[in-house]
Amino acid sequence: MTVKLSDIAEAAGVSVMTVSNVMNGKRARVSQQTIARVQEIADRLGYVPNIPARSLAASRSHIVGALVPVGENNSLLVSPHTVAVIGGIEQHLRHHGYHVLLRGIEHEGEIGQAIRGWSLDGAILVEFTDAEIDRIRIDGVPLVALDSYSANPRTIGVRTDDHRGGWIAGALLMDAGHRHVLFAGPPYEGMGVVGQRFEGFRSACLAAGIPHDAIGSERVLTTFEDGRELGRRLRRDHPEVTGVFATADVLAIGIMAGLAESGVRVPDDVSIVGFDDLDISAYTSPGLTTIAQDMPAKVAEAARIILDEIEKGEGPRAPVSLGVRLVERGTVGSPRASA
């Protein structure tokens, strides 16, 4: 029923190995003649390589796992950002003959199981916390940790230059003349993505000469709702604040909504800077000024690293930080004299 190498070999009057070599592009070992003939027959017969067989024999699968943490009962609801990354990586890998296995991870041990069980050639770890990445003890397989600052030498971090993004946001607010600012982001431990953004922001503010205690901070979840709630009470809880930096656009947009509800105008009364540059960020009114990540570069870089490690076997390498870019729209202005 299904055509296999031996069928082609027979039809071409050569050995199975020759066909195998042709199919795998090891053309150096076969004459042009044979290559052409074998290729032609394979095409005519509609040969499709059997991937499990190949994986078993070669003990490499041409599969890269996209591993995503997931609670027992929630489906892996990856963020739009993550989706874009995985999709992009799928494309890169596919063009190089690799495939992507999407796998939710409920317990940490499953990472190793997935890698061994599937003979994964590599894995990209998405949305894990730095603490989780730190705990990984798997060698021999390229592991790319997206948006991680873990120092685990077994993994390679690929992330945005969050510190710089924070700095830019801070500098922007400082340049506009704000002297009382607020950082809004999720609770965090260590210097992960959020920590980096905060530090960058803080540094820029301090460098501009405003005092320590003029930099407030609010721990809120990265959701529209939490943002709205903060927006509603901003005036009350932080009367002197005229500039806000939110670690995510969803949050920033929520804050804008809350602010609007409580009669505070953006950017007349309060300026806001977001992070991410989501599609919707261009559609709010005023349009959200935000820090954009270089997504295509991030994707390309992650794919390139995995591929290089798999094929060239390059050892663990340095983490990579991708650039950020300020997208100025309408949510930043100068603080009013009265403020």
Partner DNA sequence: CTGAAAGCGCTAACAT
Partner DNA sequence: ATGTTAGCGCTTTCAG
Give the integer Cα–Cα distance in Å for 264 and 233. Answer: 10
Positions in 82-141 near a second copy (CB under 8 A): 83-84, 86-88, 90-92, 94, 99-104, 112-113, 116-119
Output the six-digit token pair for 16.
Answer: 């199975």
Largest Cα–Cα separation, the chain: 90
With CB under 5 to 8 Å by kind, the binding choice for 87 among a second copy, DNA, none is: a second copy
Does residue 53 touch DNA according to CB under 7 A? yes
Does residue 318 touch DNA according to CB under 7 A? no
Q: Which residues are within 8 A (CB) of 10 and not within 5 positions of it... i.e. 6 or more apart?
A: none
Please identify which residue in 40, 44, 45, 58 interacts with DNA, judged by CB under 7 A.
58
Q: Cβ atoms within 10 A of the Cβ of 281, count?
A: 22
Does residue 29 touch DNA according to CB under 7 A? yes
The site string for a second copy over 33-72 (x = CB under 8 A, - otherwise) reads: ---------------xxxxxx-xx----x----x---x--
Please identify which residue in 57, 107, 187, 337 interacts with DNA, judged by CB under 7 A.
57
Closest CA to 101 of 77, 122, 84: 122
| Integer CA distances (angstroms), 324 to 66, 98, 167, 291, 305, in order | 24, 29, 11, 6, 20
Beta bridge partners, 216, equal: 182
Q: What share of the chain is helix, strand, coil (3-state, %, to 5)?
A: 45, 15, 40
The site string for a second copy over 247-286 (x = CB under 8 A, - otherwise) reads: ------xx--x--x------------------xx--x-x-
How does 154-164 read in b/e, with b if 16+ C-beta sit within 10 Å? bbbbbbbbbbb
With CB under 5 to 8 Å by kind, the binding choice for 21 among DNA, a second copy, none is: DNA
Applying CB under 8 A, the residues found at the interface with a second copy are: 2, 48-53, 55-56, 61, 66, 70, 74-78, 80, 83-84, 86-88, 90-92, 94, 99-104, 112-113, 116-119, 224, 228, 253-254, 257, 260, 279-280, 283, 285, 299
Applying CB under 7 A, the residues found at the interface with DNA are: 2, 4-6, 13-18, 20-21, 23-24, 28-31, 33-34, 49-50, 53-54, 56-60
